[in-house]
Amino acid sequence: MEQTNSLSRVLAIANQFPTCHLATTDGDQPHVRGLLMWYADETGFYFHTGSTKNLASQIMKNPRVEVAFLKTTNEIGGSEELRVKGEVEILNDKSLTERLLKERPWVGELGNHLEKPPEVIIFRVVKAEAHIWTMAMNLQEDKIERVQLA
């Protein structure tokens, strides 16, 4: 199999196609939701949520998650799916929160109509293993090269 997966390729797909689906668990039930990833770099995949959302309580109870990004093309069989499994790390970093609110000012406006707006929780997926699936590797998933992130 030709070696096509690399950290730079994984990060490029995630940053180019940040709309993704993140899977958590709610008890013993899988729970998947669409999210807009903030950004990805060699330190992890960065996301944010509100403290009152189910996502927040689910990742605090079980930090193991999987994220799927879909790089679509108009060609039949040309799409790629980036799958990342890892652990959530909650980040309590004031400068990171300030950066988020500068880059995504709408985040600071969420919940303003509530008596007590939710706190912003920034988290990243770390200790991750990523791979890129294509139709060419269908039925051979165990042979797809994995990329490790610290």
User: What tokens appear for 68 in the block?
Assistant: 């799927």
Q: How many CA atoms lie within 13 A of 114 on its CB side?
A: 10
Instruction: Report yes or no on whether pTM surpasses 0.75.
Output: yes
Q: What is the pLDDT of residues 50-72, one digit of tens each?
A: 888 899 999 999 999 999 999 87
- Which residues, 6+ apart, have CB-to-CB distance to 92 below 8 Å? none
Q: What is the pLDDT of residue 114?
A: 52
Q: List the chain residues with pLDDT less than 70.
A: 1-4, 73-78, 109-118, 135-136, 139
What topology is assigned to 7-92+120-149 in CATH? Pnp Oxidase; Chain A (2.30.110)
